Amino acid sequence: MRGEVSPQADRLLQDGEVIPLGEGLDLRVLHTPGHTPGSICLLTDGHVLTGDTLLAGSLGRADLEESAPDDLRDSVEQRLLILAEDLIILPGHGPASTIGEEKKRLMGL
């Protein structure tokens, strides 16, 4: 809901941190500021959960009070689009995509 304040985090996840989920499934934290200062994406075998950082066909939102459009663009270019092209993107909104498809769509950010 708009206007609601999120509770304080118990702790902040660090770039490169690995979160074990069990059964051989781990998530690796990628710090991707821009949508918000502490934005992260989560990388696992074959998939990356991009939340509001990268959507199919566009960068995520950067019009919030804490957003930083230049940081968002840098995060996508330098942290996400360098990943394997067949990696499936699972965004916070809309359809899935791949890193390869987004490289083609976002060339010349």
Distance CA 28, CA 87 (A): 14
Q: What is the pTM of this model?
A: 0.87
Domain 18-106's class? alpha beta
Residues 11-36 pLDDT 10s: 889 999 999 998 889 999 999 999 98
**Per-residue pLDDT tens over the stretch 66-103:** 889 999 999 999 999 999 999 999 999 999 999 999 99
